[in-house]
């Protein structure tokens, strides 16, 4: 396996695609009462494999960044890797990514607060508890994972939205890390990185509807409403990804043209 991490990244993405395709085929099949337990176990295995695939992608990107730093070349990706390699940059990336991830969860319906609903009474669940809804739905939207933390607070995890949350949060963290470091290199152009991060934040903000509007929905339809808004959110969040991907590349080209790459050593 290549030391630059690209193989791990490819394996991770391919594994996720295969997981989605396999589960979409199996999860939409007719389920008999005797097969319910097996399908639930399949849903659990799906999330375990999904987390392993995401871990492989994350470690692959780390290896790729390290490879680019060691090569000390002058291409776009090498400059991005070098600008974000310091401990300061990593701290900015981690803090911003986690902070944005929490914001995303609070405003998108992943973290659900329903003060007018008592989960144990309305849904017949134990508090705290976790459940997997293995069937049925469109590809990427099943299996759904429910975590009831208190009588009024829970989590609704949908595979495609989990991936989007991680992706957008990491990209916002990357933009923030580059923006802070580039400010001292290109005072005029560095603002573009922070603008992109802020833009990503506000593009994602329409998903706030999932949390705020659910307050005005009756208890009987609250869960269905949350799921519907979460599916709309998928498209809204996906729109921000090209911007967050393009901005670091634009910034790195400006840094390169400034001659900073000659001062790396």
Instruction: State the pLDDT confidence band at 265, using cuts at 50, 70 and 90.
Output: very low
Range of the domain at 224: 86-117+152-259
What is the rounded CA–CA span in Å between residue 111 and residue 109?
Answer: 5
Say which DSSP state 128 is in: S
- Looking at residue 204, its pLDDT comes to 39
Instruction: State the pLDDT confidence band at 49, using cuts at 50, 70 and 90.
Output: very high
111 is written with which tokens? 């973290």
What is the rounded CA–CA span in Å between residue 207 and residue 14?
Answer: 28
Do residues 132 and 145 touch, judged by C-beta distance below 8 A?
Answer: yes
Specify the higher pLDDT residue, 142 or 225: 142
- Looking at residue 216, its pLDDT comes to 40
Q: 179 lies in a domain?
A: yes
Cα–Cα distances (Å) from 226 to 112, 189, 202, in that order, read 8, 40, 20
Percent of all residues in the chain with a pLDDT value above 90, rounded to a whole number = 14
Q: 28 lies in a domain?
A: no
- Looking at residue 100, its pLDDT comes to 85
What is the rounded CA–CA span in Å between residue 248 and residue 171?
Answer: 9
- Looking at residue 76, its pLDDT comes to 85
Q: 255 lies in a domain?
A: yes
Cβ neighbours for 232, distance < 8 A, ≥ 6 positions apart: none
| Averaged pLDDT for residues 78-98 | 89
Instruction: Give the residue from 134, 154, 155, 130 showing the smallest Cα distance to 144.
Output: 134
pLDDT for residue 66 is more than 60:
yes
| Averaged pLDDT for residues 107-113 | 77
pLDDT for residue 187 is more than 80:
no
| Averaged pLDDT for residues 132-145 | 76
- DSSP H or E stretch at residue 211: helix 209-212
| Residue 86 CB neighbour total at 10 angstroms | 12
Instruction: State the pLDDT confidence band at 55, using cuts at 50, 70 and 90.
Output: very high
Percent of all residues in the chain with a pLDDT value above 70, rounded to a whole number = 69
152 is written with which tokens? 């009024």
pLDDT for residue 193 is more than 50:
no
Q: 245 lies in a domain?
A: yes
- Looking at residue 235, its pLDDT comes to 65
Of 9-13, 75-79, 151-155, which one has max mean pLDDT? 9-13
Cβ neighbours for 174, distance < 8 A, ≥ 6 positions apart: 80, 84, 93, 244, 248
Instruction: Give the residue from 109, 73, 79, 101 showing the smallest Cα distance to 229.
Output: 109
Cα–Cα distances (Å) from 2 to 8, 9, 60, 189, in that order, read 8, 11, 10, 35
* Number of domains within the chain: 1
Instruction: State the pLDDT confidence band at 145, using cuts at 50, 70 and 90.
Output: confident
Taking the CA atoms of 256, 4, 20 and 112 in sequence, report the sign of the dihedral they define: negative
Specify the higher pLDDT residue, 230 or 55: 55
Phi, psi of 133, deg, nearest 5:
-95, 100
Q: 183 lies in a domain?
A: yes
Instruction: State the pLDDT confidence band at 10, using cuts at 50, 70 and 90.
Output: very high
Instruction: Give the residue from 75, 46, 54, 50 showing the smallest Cα distance to 8.
Output: 54
Specify the higher pLDDT residue, 34 or 256: 256
Q: 191 lies in a domain?
A: yes
| Averaged pLDDT for residues 17-21 | 89
Taking the CA atoms of 19, 235, 196 and 254 in sequence, report the sign of the dihedral they define: positive
Q: 253 lies in a domain?
A: yes
pLDDT for residue 2 is more than 50:
yes
Hey, is 145 helix, strand or coil? strand
Question: What pTM did the predictor assign?
Answer: 0.74
Specify the higher pLDDT residue, 167 or 217: 167
Average pLDDT, rounded, for the chain: 75
Instruction: State the pLDDT confidence band at 13, using cuts at 50, 70 and 90.
Output: very high
Strands 144-148 and 111-113: unpaired
Residue with tokens 């090498």: 78
Q: 71 lies in a domain?
A: no
Instruction: Give the residue from 27, 55, 21 showing the smallest Cα distance to 41.
Output: 27
């Amino acid at each position: 396996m290549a030391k630059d991490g690209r193989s791990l990244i490819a394996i991770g993405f391919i594994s996720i695609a295969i997981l989605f395709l396999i589960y979409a085929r199996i999860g939409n099949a007719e389920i008999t009462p005797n097969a319910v337990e097996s399908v639930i176990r399949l849903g659990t295995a799906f999330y375990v494999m999904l987390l392993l695939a995401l871990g492989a992608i994350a470690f692959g990107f780390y290896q790729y960044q390290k490879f680019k730093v060691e090569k000390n070349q002058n291409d776009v990706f090498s400059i991005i890797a070098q600008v974000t390699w310091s401990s300061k940059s990593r701290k900015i990336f981690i803090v911003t990514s986690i902070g944005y991830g929490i914001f995303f969860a609070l405003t998108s319906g992943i973290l659900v607060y329903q003060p007018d609903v008592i989960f144990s009474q309305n849904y017949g669940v134990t508090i705290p508890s976790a459940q997997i809804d293995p069937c049925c739905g469109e590809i990427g939207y099943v299996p759904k994972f429910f975590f009831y933390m208190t009588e009024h607070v829970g989590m609704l995890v949908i595979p495609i939205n989990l991936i989007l949350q991680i992706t957008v949060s990491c990209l916002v963290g990357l933009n923030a890390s580059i923006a802070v470091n580039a400010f001292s290199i290109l005072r005029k152009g560095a603002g573009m990185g922070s603008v992109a991060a802020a833009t990503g934040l506000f593009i994602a903000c329409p998903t706030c509807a999932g949390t705020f509007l659910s307050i005005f929905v009756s208890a009987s339809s609250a869960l269905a409403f949350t799921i519907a808004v979460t599916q709309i959110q998928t498209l809204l969040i996906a729109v921000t990804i090209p911007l967050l991907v393009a901005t670091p590349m634009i910034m790195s080209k400006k840094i390169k043209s400034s001659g900073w790459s000659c001062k790396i050593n």
